Amino acid sequence: MSGLLALLDDVAAIAKVAAASVDDIAGAAAKAGSKAAGVVIDDAAVTPKYVTGFSADRELPMIWRIGVGSIRNKLLFLLPALMVLNAFLPQAITPLLMLGGAYLCFEGAEKVLHVLFPKADQKVAEDFDTKDPMRLEEEKVLGAIKTDFILSAEIMTISLAAIPVSTLWQEAATLALVGIFITIAVYGAVAVIVKMDDIGLYLAANGHSRAGRGFGRGLVAAMPKLLAVLSSVGTLAMLWVGGNIITHGLEGLGWPWLYDQIHHLAEVAAHALPQAAGFVTWLVTAAIDGLFGLALGLLVIPVATRIIGPLFDLLKRPSKAR
């Protein structure tokens, strides 16, 4: 009997430790998630452009598939890779992030070129008329998941840096919790955004008051403009986040000049407008990071399209021949 009581005491003690660990994990996850809030906003702004132009009945299935792909990116690829790198080769994390940042700059710069030179984007516009819709949807979803991978890597890395040093399993559990929560928040928000026009149509037809029906009609009228704005914000976010990753990475690798200059200019602007110092600091930093990201992206475009792209095509040919 005394042995059984001792066993029950041990089980109770283990349960208490487990409960405390869960509390620690939840607290660390909340703190880590808040550190990555800026990239989360960018992720939410980038995604809606991938479902723009498709029929209403395909929007939610596409968002679901992108969300599932995002969870897979975070939990199956990034989480184990980051834990291994953090344990054995932490110095490799920054260069890999910078490579992802360069990719975001490339994508953002391409979008800017398509806006400035619409003829260059004519093939993309014709795709909706000439391509098999299912194939086009597949390409868009894969493109969104690929972009999500870069943003997710930034989110997970920022979160990992914010997690207090603890046991390996606690860090992994905290990072997994952050990844799941952020994915649900981002793609839940995206789903609401892209379906707001349908909500507006329902209110316009079934509202119980004139004000409700008028609000529904207003939503329907406003949504195309909102989606267009979000698409532009998504492009700017790619440039801002990409440029920010590069400048922070250079600073972390021992080349702080560019980061220091941006920080100095932001401080000067903030002193000139002390009533909104925090906002001005963020705005100036984001604007300069974005301009740097655009310049870098424009430099990367010919390298990616004329060297890296053809090289990948060349490497694929032998496998197809087999």
Residue given tokens 């702004």 in the structure block: 45
What residues make up the domain containing 23? Answer: 14-321
* Residue 1, token pair as written in the block: 């009997």
Domain contains 2: no
What pLDDT is stored for residue 22 in this prediction? Answer: 42
Q: How many domains does the chain have?
A: 1
Domain contains 58: yes
Label residue 299 exposed, middle or buried (CB < 10 Å: 0-12, 13-18, 19+): middle
What pLDDT is stored for residue 32 in this prediction? Answer: 42
What pLDDT is stored for residue 47 in this prediction? Answer: 66
pTM of the predicted protein model: 0.69
Domain contains 257: yes
Domain contains 127: yes
Domain contains 279: yes
Domain contains 101: yes
Domain contains 89: yes
Domain contains 8: no
Mean pLDDT, contiguous 10-residue spans, the chain (322 residues): 40 37 46 48 61 76 92 93 89 85 87 76 50 79 85 81 77 87 86 84 85 87 79 81 90 92 94 89 92 94 83 65 48
Q: Half-sphere exposure of 195 toward its Cβ, with a 13 Å CA cutoff?
A: 15
**Nearest partner of 33 among 148, 180, 142, 134, judged by Cα:** 180
